[in-house]
Chain A
Amino acid sequence: MSDADSFETPSPDGGDGRDQGKGWFARLREGLSKSSRRLVDGISSLFTKRKLDSATLEELEELLITADLGVTTAAKLTQNLARDKFDKEVTGDEVREAFAADIAAILDPVARPLTIDATQKPFVILMVGVNGSGKTTTIGKLAKRFRAEGRSVMLAAGDTFRAAAIEQLRAWGERVGAPVVEKPHGTEAAALAFDALTRAKAEGTDVLLIDTAGRLQNKSLLMDELAKVVRVLKKQDPEAPHATVLVLDGTVGQNAHSQLKVFKEMVDVTGLVVTKLDGSARGGVVVALAETFGLPVHAVGVGESADDLRPFEARQYARSLMGLEG
């Protein structure tokens, strides 16, 4: 496992001690189960054992919608269920199992860890997304993971716009033991990225993580600026960035479709990370995104500390979304 390691490998030190004795799955469930509790309650109260009629199907469809799966995906899942079970006696558990299986089937092809190609030195990862989605924090978490895997990591403070964004990344660099490339506030982001790549090359760094300022996808000037960052990186290394990760806030609704579509067009997003799944939101829009775009989902964020990043696993995500045990 030298050329294609993934951060999914459990870190040897077991994190900062907070989650010792608890498997990663238990922690993922802890995060996700809170978010799915209401959905589960809903489905269970719908059935003790009753006939799956069209009124019940409608209620089930609505429950999926409340998890942000979107009208289309919710309808599709409910129709699937109806095909097999219509007019039959079903329990809430059976329905949850059936939904979980279908959702897992949708998610399975996109559950792909962010793999580092060690022949690329540095392996350049560009983090993009709308404001406040969790880019900088996710960089901190990824950096910690890569460090734990024994890689050298460099961070580039490419958010030269937001107040104290540089200081924020600097704090993460100190925390995880990674140097931070920075330039004064207001510097052009592309110039910073270019310099960071030069330096990472010179120092033989394994992974370069580039932070960018949050931007709404409908601001074309800001999106052009991001495209320029990519262009400038390609001047030095035509393959760079080797991964472009869109960080999605788990509370986001149907706007996620537009985010992914535009960011993909502009900077060729290669994968997603979904954050804040430790809250009450369920991140169900990911299911719809998987159907529409089929882009890899690498990981989920389940908290604010360095260890709160989990691999995205289709079956577990689906079952957790439906409130089912591993």
Chain B
Amino acid sequence: MFDGLSERLGSVFDKLRKRGALSESDVDAALREVRVALLEADVALPVVKQFIEKVRVRAVGSEVIKSVTPGQMVVKIVNDTLVETLGSDSQKVSVSATAPVPILMVGLQGGGKTTTTAKLAKRIAEKERKKVLMASLDVTRPAAREQLKMLGEQVGVDTLPIVPNESALTIAKRAMTVGRLQGYDVVFLDTAGRTSIDEALMSEVRAIRDQVKPHETLLVADALTGQDAVTTATNFDERVGLTGIVLTRIDGDSRGGAALSMRAITGKPIKALGVGEKVDEIEDFHPDRLANRILGMGDVVSLVERAAETIKEDEAERMAARMAKGQFTLDDMATQLRQMRQLGGLGGILGMLPGVGKIQKALAGANVDEKMFSRQEAIITSMTKAERKNPQVMNASRKRRVASGSGTQVQDINRLLKQHMEMSKMMKKVGKMGGGKAMMGMMGGGMPPGGPGGGGLPGGMGGLPGGGLPGMGGGGLPPGLPPGFPGKRK
């Protein structure tokens, strides 16, 4: 039942294999199918809704690249947004704090806490050469403490000796005392599974948290979870406070939508994945792989990526020719904004260039509002084709319409129009000066001559106009930055 998305999208888009930008109706038709696919992948409904909105804003008006159908284009945008939402950096379980570092494992019954505890403990003991202690606070499930003890023997990690009739809180205290007295670096506290609406058990785990002040509190959750992922993650986060999520049973054949739900709802990073029953079957989290799995359309995504590769040449030439003629429409500006964002914003672009660490630091200090890019894109996509071609027609009532359509203020529209004007003036100058492809290559680097690098932007995507980035107030630029480079946020 999960293989439907390709087919569904196929039939939607067979009818409209046209070129150009994605229209609102293209996008809506595709997103209806994407929505169903996400729900069938167990992404929780509120998360699906938010997510679809985010994709819609991005997709409408996006250029469909050559040899790719609109449906495929939407899939690519959905995929990129998924990766971004899942979190672009792979964060690990941290043990850098004053020893003994307490790590609290929490979650529902049967989620895989005990096995995960042993896996993480083994990895930290071996890879980070730490002295690790594990303690089971599960006095509810029969033989739970024996289970951890056996696993400890198996992976060669110490476990806290079992003392009968102790409460979970007492065991936690004892574990930390033993940890301190016997010089352990890390102490794992494996708690009993509990439903997130069991008030008594939730306050028990809160008491443990208050006692040991864990450095990490990890929610261990089953990748097979359905819509309940949201409730569980929210409740544990609100009542206990999480620092991360570990997703288990990812070696099953679920789509794993729970990962997206939990990540999106709590904002907490996914720090590891359980990929099997054996004690070394634990992996770092890779958002792109998981996105691929949730969507199940990896082939389409890579197809679009290949198409984009082959297209960059033409694109660069076309852009260069237009610039030489001094043409720079709002559509061009939108394209550039989009490219910027797709490349990970300004910080991302600079990160790709060799030798720009210093500038990047200066830029971080300059406090650039990266959200501005999407806002400005939204403004441009809310304008009619005619308005985009000929911004002079923008009168007060049109501006009001665009502002409400894009969720911005009229002064935002004014600012954008002014920036566009300045940019196109600059384009003209640049075009007259040199023009042609040579200029594009330089522009592609996003740096004026003398700037660091020559690295060139990957993808030769038309580059950043030398004449000032949109959305920036200018002024107060850190030394070494090209003229017109983004300045501080107002």
> Contact between B254 and A253 (Cβ–Cβ < 8 Å)?
yes
> Contact between B255 and A252 (Cβ–Cβ < 8 Å)?
no
> Contact between B141 and A304 (Cβ–Cβ < 8 Å)?
yes
> Contact between B40 and A254 (Cβ–Cβ < 8 Å)?
yes
> Contact between B228 and A131 (Cβ–Cβ < 8 Å)?
no
Interface string of B59-70 (1 = CB under 8 A from A): 000000000000
Interface string of B91-115 (1 = CB under 8 A from A): 0000000000000000011111000
> Contact between A62 and B45 (Cβ–Cβ < 8 Å)?
yes
25 A-B residue pairs with Cβ-Cβ distance under 8 Å, sorted by A, are A62-B45, A65-B227, A133-B110, A162-B277, A163-B151, A164-B143, A164-B144, A165-B147, A168-B144, A171-B142, A172-B142, A175-B142, A251-B225, A252-B226, A253-B224, A253-B229, A253-B257, A254-B41, A255-B42, A276-B108, A281-B227, A281-B231, A282-B227, A282-B228, A304-B109
Nearest CB in chain B to that of A161: its residue: B277
Nearest CB in chain A to that of B251: its residue: A216
Which of A16-24, A66-74, A91-99, A238-246 is the contact stretch? A66-74
Q: How far is the CB of A52 from chain B (nearest CB, A)?
A: 20
Which of B40, B142, B147 is close to A71, meaning CB atoms less than 8 Å apart? B40
* Contact partners of A224 in chain B: CB under 8 A: none
How long is the Cα–Cα vector from A17 to B142 in the complex, in angstroms? Answer: 20
B304 at the interface (CB under 8 A from A): no
Given contacts A133-B110, A252-B225, are A280 and B196 in contact (CB under 8 A)? yes
* Contact partners of B45 in chain A: CB under 8 A: 62, 65-66
The winner among B42, B195, B197, B232 for most chain A CB atoms within 10 A is B195
Which of A133, A167, A254 is close to B42, meaning CB atoms less than 8 Å apart? A254
Query: For residues 257 through 308 of chain A, which have their beta carbon under 8 Å from a beta carbon of chain B?
Result: 257-258, 276, 278-282, 285, 304
* Contact partners of A257 in chain B: CB under 8 A: 1
Number of A-B contacts defined by CB within 8 Å: 143
> Contact between B196 and A279 (Cβ–Cβ < 8 Å)?
yes
> Contact between A216 and B252 (Cβ–Cβ < 8 Å)?
yes
B contact patch SS: loop
> Contact between B146 and A167 (Cβ–Cβ < 8 Å)?
yes
Chain B residues with a Cβ under 8 A of chain A: 1-2, 36, 39-42, 44-45, 108-112, 140-144, 146-147, 149-151, 154, 195-198, 222, 224-229, 231-232, 235, 249, 251-255, 257-258, 277
Given contacts A216-B253, A217-B253, are A168 and B143 in contact (CB under 8 A)? yes
A206 at the interface (CB under 8 A from B): no
> Contact between A251 and B226 (Cβ–Cβ < 8 Å)?
yes
> Contact between B227 and A167 (Cβ–Cβ < 8 Å)?
no
* Contact partners of A70 in chain B: CB under 8 A: 40
How long is the Cα–Cα vector from A252 to B356 in the complex, in angstroms? Answer: 48
* Contact partners of A130 in chain B: CB under 8 A: 224, 249, 252
> Contact between B224 and A255 (Cβ–Cβ < 8 Å)?
yes
How long is the Cα–Cα vector from A68 to B198 in the complex, in angstroms? Answer: 21
* Contact partners of B41 in chain A: CB under 8 A: 254
> Contact between B195 and A276 (Cβ–Cβ < 8 Å)?
yes
How long is the Cα–Cα vector from A14 to B195 in the complex, in angstroms? Answer: 25
A311 at the interface (CB under 8 A from B): no
> Contact between B111 and A132 (Cβ–Cβ < 8 Å)?
yes
Chain A residues with a Cβ under 8 A of chain B: 34, 38, 62, 65-68, 70-71, 130-134, 161-165, 167-168, 170-172, 175, 216-219, 249, 251-255, 257-258, 276, 278-282, 285, 304
* Contact partners of A164 in chain B: CB under 8 A: 143-144, 146-147, 149-150
Nearest CB in chain B to that of A75: its residue: B36
How long is the Cα–Cα vector from A171 to B229 in the complex, in angstroms? Answer: 31
Which of B110, B146, B151 is close to A131, meaning CB atoms less than 8 Å apart? B110
Q: A252-B222, A254-B226 are in contact. List 13 more A-B contacts (CB 8 A).
A: A66-B227, A68-B227, A71-B40, A163-B146, A164-B149, A167-B143, A170-B143, A249-B222, A252-B225, A253-B226, A253-B227, A254-B255, A280-B197
* Contact partners of B40 in chain A: CB under 8 A: 70-71, 254
> Contact between A253 and B147 (Cβ–Cβ < 8 Å)?
no
How long is the Cα–Cα vector from A272 to B17 in the complex, in angstroms? Answer: 47
Nearest CB in chain B to that of A163: its residue: B150
Q: How far is the CB of B9 from chain A (nearest CB, A)?
A: 16
* Contact partners of A255 in chain B: CB under 8 A: 42, 224, 226, 252-255
> Contact between A168 and B197 (Cβ–Cβ < 8 Å)?
no
* Contact partners of A249 in chain B: CB under 8 A: 110, 222, 224
> Contact between B110 and A132 (Cβ–Cβ < 8 Å)?
yes
How long is the Cα–Cα vector from A130 to B279 in the complex, in angstroms? Answer: 18
> Contact between A162 and B147 (Cβ–Cβ < 8 Å)?
yes
> Contact between B258 and A253 (Cβ–Cβ < 8 Å)?
yes
* Contact partners of B253 in chain A: CB under 8 A: 216-218, 255, 258
Nearest CB in chain A to that of B43: its residue: A253
Nearest CB in chain B to that of A222: its residue: B277
> Contact between B255 and A66 (Cβ–Cβ < 8 Å)?
no
How long is the Cα–Cα vector from A58 to B2 in the complex, in angstroms? Answer: 22
How long is the Cα–Cα vector from A132 to B249 in the complex, in angstroms? Answer: 10
* Contact partners of A258 in chain B: CB under 8 A: 253-254
Nearest CB in chain A to that of B226: its residue: A253
> Contact between A276 and B109 (Cβ–Cβ < 8 Å)?
yes
> Contact between A66 and B111 (Cβ–Cβ < 8 Å)?
no
Q: How far is the CB of A185 from chain B (nearest CB, A)?
A: 8
